[in-house]
């Protein structure tokens, strides 16, 4: 059965998912829905408030915007730094241990797959714990920048935490009103503009990383999408690619996704429960004897 002759089934059961995936080596593609049970809100989820994402052009083009961004991020990143992987992350790591999952492509920047023990992970949209200089390309740990921002803005974090009005967003920013006097740090090496090592709207994913992700899909024989509405092209292209190669695609997500039309099965469900069930149910795939 290939996706082209399979009719997408909506509101399928876990048994349908198992039927499609059993015996296959799976590439996993994950999004914000996988991390909601770790306390990181999914701003694209069905129950989420509308929120306009920041664009790369806003960030580089507007000093006031950038100051506001860094002030929020300076508080928010500590929250992400303290979050823990949930049952869904652990299930994918367990499936990789057993040879069912060959690797994870994630649109999340929270590093929770790595924290759960997944080894073959492509952080498609970057990682919250690194900062990139747009001038010289130098990458520094976010913790190093935190020390510098603390020195430039003594008492800022404590002040904000007293207000107690910190909304945490997936890209590690937190909504704060009084950021007008926040002092932003530039690159210590070249004085260039620093940006979180995260791919924003209006940016493209670095080519080498995209190729790494395609290779991960090509090394598998089915694609499991978990917790993503696939609303951005950077993730959707892997679903299209898998479908074009005749690989079965399964989508587990709360709410409809842009990838549903490519899926053999879609399951409207939470990822923590579903991935845990799959970790218990899916058999290890047979050793590959020939190319298919």
Residue closer to Zn ion (CB basis): 63 or 284: 63
**Using rule CB under 5 A, residue 139 touches Zn ion:** no
**Using rule CB under 5 A, residue 140 touches Zn ion:** no
**Using rule CB under 5 A, residue 189 touches Zn ion:** yes
**Using rule CB under 5 A, residue 190 touches Zn ion:** yes
Residues at the binding site for NAD(+) are 107-110, 227-229, 253-255, 271
Minimum CB distance to Zn ion, residue 5 (Å): 53
Contact region for Zn ion (CB under 5 A) — 31-39, 80-88, 129-137, 256-264? 129-137
What is the distance of C-alpha 64 from the center of its chain? 27
Minimum CB distance to Zn ion, residue 181 (Å): 25
**Using rule CB under 5 A, residue 134 touches Zn ion:** no
**Using rule CB under 5 A, residue 187 touches Zn ion:** yes
113 included as an active-site residue: no
**Using rule CB under 5 A, residue 219 touches Zn ion:** no
**Out of 1, 15, 63, 136, the residue judged to bind Zn ion by CB under 5 A:** 136
User: In the range 36-95, which residues lie near Zn ion by CB under 5 A?
Assistant: none
Minimum CB distance to Zn ion, residue 193 (Å): 8
Minimum CB distance to Zn ion, residue 207 (Å): 21
Residue closer to Zn ion (CB basis): 133 or 199: 133
Residues near Zn ion, by CB under 5 A: 133, 135-136, 138, 187, 189-190, 192
Catalytic residue IDs: 125
């Amino acid at each position: 059965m290939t996706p082209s002759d399979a009719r997408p089934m909506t509101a399928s059961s876990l048994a349908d998912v198992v039927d499609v995936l059993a015996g296959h080596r799976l590439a996993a593609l994950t999004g914000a829905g996988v991390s909601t049970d770790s306390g990181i809100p999914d701003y694209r989820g069905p129950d989420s408030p509308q929120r306009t994402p920041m664009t790369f052009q806003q960030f580089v083009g507007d000093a006031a915007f950038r100051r506001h961004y860094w002030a929020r991020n300076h508080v928010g990143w500590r929250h992400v730094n303290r979050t823990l992987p949930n049952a869904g992350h652990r299930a994918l790591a367990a499936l990789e241990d057993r040879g069912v999952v060959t690797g994870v492509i994630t649109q999340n920047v929270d590093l929770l797959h790595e924290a759960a023990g997944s080894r073959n992970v492509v952080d498609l949209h970057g990682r919250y714990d690194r900062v990139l200089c747009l001038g010289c390309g130098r990458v520094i740990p976010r913790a190093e920048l935190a020390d510098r921002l603390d020195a430039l803005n003594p008492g800022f974090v404590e002040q904000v935490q007293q207000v107690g009005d910190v909304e945490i967003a997936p890209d590690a920013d937190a909504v704060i009103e009084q950021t007008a006097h926040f002092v932003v740090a530039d690159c210590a090496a070249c004085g260039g503009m620093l940006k979180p090592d995260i791919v924003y709207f209006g940016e493209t994913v670095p080519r080498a990383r995209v190729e790494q992700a395609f290779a991960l899909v090509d090394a598998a024989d089915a694609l499991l999408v978990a917790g993503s509405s696939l609303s951005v092209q950077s993730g959707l292209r892997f679903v299209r690619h898998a479908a074009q190669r005749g690989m079965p695609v399964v989508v587990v997500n709360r709410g409809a996704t842009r990838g549903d039309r490519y899926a053999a099965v879609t399951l409207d469900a939470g990822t923590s429960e579903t991935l845990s069930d799959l970790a218990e149910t899916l058999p290890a795939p047979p050793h590959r004897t020939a190319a298919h």
